[in-house]
Amino acid sequence: MLSECLTTGCFIGCSTASSLWNSVQKRFIDNIKAHLLKCNIKLSDLEALASDKDIWRTVCDTGLRSFVNGWITTSEE
């Protein structure tokens, strides 16, 4: 009974299970984009930055530092 409910997606009122998965996937992707923007990483440059590990590591490190500094500044105010 429960497996039928999960496969059809009826437990949330979705018409199909795939629409449930698409909404979860969309929220995940939106969450990733939001975190990248908070770390000052441009989405348009993402593929080029990620192709080189050293550059990607540097961009992530500086982005994370700017995010934490902004968070600390906001919490102090």
pLDDT digits (tens, 9 = 90+) for 19-58: 666 677 778 888 989 989 988 888 898 899 889 999 999 9
CA 2 and chain centroid, separation: 30
Q: Which domain holds residue 31?
A: 1-38
Would you state the structure tokens that stand for residue 31, as one six-digit string? Answer: 């969450």
Segment holding 25, helix H or strand E: helix 17-38
Q: Are residues 20 and 34 in the same domain?
A: yes
Question: What does the alpha-carbon distance between residue 19 and residue 66 come to, in Å, rounded to a whole number?
Answer: 36
Contact 64, 39 (CB under 8 A): yes
> pTM of whole model > 0.75?
no
Q: Are residues 12 and 27 in the same domain?
A: yes
The dihedral of CA 11, 27, 50, 73: what is its sign?
A: negative
